[in-house]
Each structure stands twice: as C-alpha cells, then as structure tokens.
Amino acid sequence: MEKESVKTQGGIGFVGLLTIALIVLKLCGVIDWSWWVVILGPFLCSLAFAVVIISVTVAILWFLADHKKNLLK
C-alpha cells in the first residue's frame, strides 16, 4: 500500500507576524503605544487595505458600465 502524502500550507501570515512583533516591542519597552493600537493596529491596516481594494474595483466597474452605456447611445 502506498503512503499518501498530505501537504498543508498555512502559517502565521503578515498580519499575525506584525502583531507578534508589536507585542514583543511593547513588552520590551521599545514602543510606548496603547495596547489597543498594538493589538488592533495590524488588523485595522489590513481591513483598510481591503476596503481600498474593494472601492477601487467598484469604481472601475462603475466607470466601465457607464462608458459602455454611453457607447450604446
């Protein structure tokens, strides 16, 4: 019987790594930020990035739909 190899991918990701780095810096006294900023900062940055990407996509689709409508007239 052959062994099946199972490959899993994953890991901590950029936001998780940044959060851990900020927690370590906070605990070592290197940064004097609020715990709210240390914990929620990376998450809010990634959320803001997603909102920007979605907004740009919607704006492009809206522009293309409007442009297509003007061509059909």
User: Please, what is the average pLDDT of the chain?
Assistant: 88
Q: Where are the beta strands (DSSP E) in 1-73?
A: none
Query: Residue 5: what pLDDT?
Result: 74
Largest Cα separation within the chain, whole Å, is: 67
Confidence of residue 66 (pLDDT cuts 50, 70, 90): confident
Helix orientation angle between 13-27 and 35-72, rounded to the nearest 10 degrees: 150
Domain coordinates in residue numbering, the chain: 13-72
CB of 63 closer than 8 Å to CB of 55: no
* Entry pTM: 0.64
Does residue 22 carry a pLDDT above 80?
Answer: yes
Where is 51: in which H helix or E strand?
Answer: helix 35-72
65 confidence band (pLDDT: 50, 70, 90): confident
**Euclidean distance between CA atoms 56 and 47, whole angstroms:** 14
